[in-house]
Each structure stands twice: as structure tokens, then as C-alpha cells.
Amino acid sequence: MLKVLLVDDEAPILGNLRRVLPWQEMGMEIYGMARSGMEALRIAEEQAPDLVLCDIRMPVMDGLTFVGKLREMGLDSEVLLLSGYQEFDYAREAIRLGVKEYICKPIHYEELGNKVREIGTRIRSKQYKDKLYNSIPLFQELPPAEDSAKKTPDQLMNQAAQYISERLSFDLGIEEVAHKIGISSSYFCLLFKNRFAMTFVEYVTLQRMEAAKFMLASSDKSIAAISIGVGYQERRYFTKVFQKQTGMTPKDYRDLHKLPETR
């Protein structure tokens, strides 16, 4: 059973989240409910949840600050944001923290259930790959830098993924990222392919497209600005890549997924 943590400052929403969704049928169990970021951090430290459903706008500590603290604690829990808040800076910060899933309030519970099932499948797939990956001894062609020698392959790849997510608007290369985490390019490629089951270029493109989708749906920034924000200086080329990945143009995607104004 996957561990779930629910975080929202509104008690009725917390109650609905607990009651309405068929958690047991989805192979999940609610291990905690919190009405503030501080309370959620305490529960997360004790339970290490696999999935966190969290509101963005909460008093004292907002949802993104909570997720940032969660990452500082070393927890890579999947996070599903619950909010209609549409500030561009919020979208950028969410992406930097590895949050790609969101549901707009007022909550449509059928849509939420489908989204939670998708995330659950992704979590289980990752857990299976990690288990398989950690059971296979890897040949290290070149020794990593001295400070990196103390880190596990998972820690190195988490560090690489974090660095990539922070620099999606810049040109990125294998040598740059490998140097940043202190290992050779050949060793980096070996670890990267085993961890993510795709090439470096495929991964960076996927992250850029996910970031673009998030921004198209949750902000009013122009498509040209979003294109530059995810590393494509030419809007035409960005549109071509986006259409290849999603089957629709950025404008069509925005028209289909634009979040309504709430709260």
C-alpha cells in the first residue's frame, strides 16, 4: 500500500479527500492529514509518504515552501498540488521542486481520482525500477571525484535531475552535468540510462515539455516567453518539438487545459 499524506487548511476539503476517493481500491492508505505546512512536515518526517496531496495557498507556510522543506529532508515524495493559483512564479517554483501534477479548485473528484491513479502507477513503476537497478552491480569505468565517491548512484542521479530542472532555460550538455556532480561523462551516461531508461537528450526534452505544459495551463505568459523559459530561443522550433511530443500545438494545448480563474 502506498502511503498518502493530505494537506489543506480547509477541514471540509480534507474530509472530502479522505472520504470520496477509493483509496483502498487504488492500493493506497492515508497515513496522515494536516491543516498546515508545519504539521505536514512533522507527519512526513515520521511516515515518509509516497504521495502528498497539498494545497498551495495556506497560512504560515504555503504549499511550495512545504514542498521545498520536504526536498531538504531528502524525501522524493510525488506531490499533487491542489489550487487554482496562477502566478507564473509559483509555476516556475513548482517545476524547480519537481512538481508536475496539479488539480484546480473547485476539485472535480473524478478527475482527481484518475490523476491519483496515474501517479500511483508511476510511483510503483519507479519503485520497481529502483529495486531492479539497485540489485544490479554497476561497473564504474572511471572513479568519481572524491566527494562524489561517498554518494550512491541514486543520490548522484537525484542531484543531476535537480540540476537539470533548475537550468531548463539554458543549453545543457552531458559534460556540464557530469562535471557538476563530480563524475566522468562515461560513468554519468551509464548511471543515467540505468536510472531513467532514456538518453540524456530525451530526458531533457521531456522535462522541458512537462515544464511548458505546466506553464501553458497555469499562467498567462505568452507562448514565446514560455518557449524561452524552457530553453528554446525560436518559438517555431519549440512548437515543432511540442507538437511532436503532445500531438498538438502549444496554443491548442493551452486552450484545452487552461485553468479557470478561482480563489
**How do residues 192-241 score in pLDDT, each as one tens digit?**
989 899 889 899 999 999 989 988 988 888 999 999 989 888 888 899 99
Helix locations, the chain, DSSP H: 11-20, 37-47, 63-72, 88-96, 109-134, 153-166, 174-181, 185-196, 200-218, 223-229, 235-246, 250-257
Query: Does the pLDDT at position 80 exceed 60?
Result: yes
pTM, two decimal places: 0.52
Q: Which of 75, 98, 133 is the C-terminal boundary of a domain?
A: 133
Residue 173 within a domain = no
Contact 192, 200 (CB under 8 A): yes
* Weakest mean pLDDT among 47-61, 65-79, 138-152: 138-152
Mean pLDDT of 119-142: 62
Angle between helices 153-166 and 200-218 in degrees, nearest 10: 50
Domain of 243 in residue numbering reads as: 201-257
One domain, residues 110 and 220: no
pLDDT band at 99 (very low <50, low <70, confident <90, very high): confident
Residue 15 inside a domain? The answer is yes
Task: Tell me what pLDDT residue 73 has.
Answer: 84
pLDDT higher than 70, residue 173? yes
What are the pLDDT digits (tens) for 249-260? 999 999 988 755
Q: Are residues 24 and 110 in the same domain?
A: yes
